[in-house]
Structure 1
């Protein structure tokens, strides 16, 4: 196997193991504080930690390396997806981290702190809006090349052509 795949497999295994241990620690901390010190409601805990648990199980499914018995012992069959990828994977990590923070805050401060979890849908809406507006701006200049009015200056000229004519340099003749 390629060295890069082996590196990714070991990195994914370490990341997943660390994630599961931290998650277990945060949730056990919440339950211990609830059982020993303060009464915290369990229904919001179960409902609001469900997305993070689903994401963790998804990461486990796509990121855990798969080994198979081969002629030389265990051989890497599949390294797993990159758990450090940008985009959706990065957003899912943010949800997991924010869930841990909110769970610890609720354990220490009280059930009112679950309101901090409302940041997740607000952040998601912000990301969706900025992504949509960026794509829309990217496609905005395409109408000029298709005969639309676009954002070019002066009768279908490119910006470079308009500058050249403004300086009195090379004139472009259109037929």
Structure 2
């Protein structure tokens, strides 16, 4: 069963990588072709600054996600899951957004490269939400409240209502 899952992951990774490489190559060639044909005052500096680093991301994803086979054709390694959350997901976001920016630059002009500024803003947003989530998670660790508040926080609503009515505590003592 595990071998079937590995084969499924390998075929999915290979298909995703092939599609990504074809789309990326087509977009970069289209940009360079339009740059040569129209000779607009289109500078290649923003292209090299913003688009070429995403090629490094694409090749990194290829390196970690490409399935590896032995000489006899059997699957040696399925590669990492390219649908994983976290950093991999962020790399795909950067890659897709840059491809969208290339399309916008081809359709409009070099000012569309400013759309790429969304990526650092998105990074700041992700960092902020992560820090706030961690802050909420660590809020109960440091104490800060009274001992009675901590005890009440661990009690259920039913227990608190019974104690409020006075019937929540069992008294042990001499009977009789």
Q: 1:79 to 1:155 in 2, by over 3 A?
A: closer
Structure 1 residue 169, shift from structure 2 partner: 3.8
Q: 1:150 to 1:26 in 2, by over 3 A?
A: farther
Q: 1:124 to 1:130 in 2, by over 3 A?
A: same
What's 1:30 paired with?
A: 31
What's 2:168 paired with?
A: 170
TM-score, with structure 2 as normaliser: 0.85
Distance 1:150 1:38 in 2: 68
SS of the equivalent of 2:80 reads coil
For 1:75-94, what aligned pairs fall within 5 Å after superposition? 75-94=74-93
Distance 2:74 2:87 in 1: 30
TM-score, with structure 1 as normaliser: 0.86
Distance 1:91 1:156 in 2: 41
SS of the equivalent of 1:74 reads coil
CA contact (8 A) 1:5 1:79 kept: yes
Residue ranges of structure 2 left out of the alignment (5+ in a row) = 172-176
Report the count of equivalent residues: 166
Structure 1 residue 22, shift from structure 2 partner: 0.4
CA contact (8 A) 1:66 1:80 kept: yes
CA contact (8 A) 1:55 1:92 kept: yes
Distance 2:9 2:20 in 1: 16
| Stretches of 4+ aligned residues off by more than 4 angstroms | 150-153
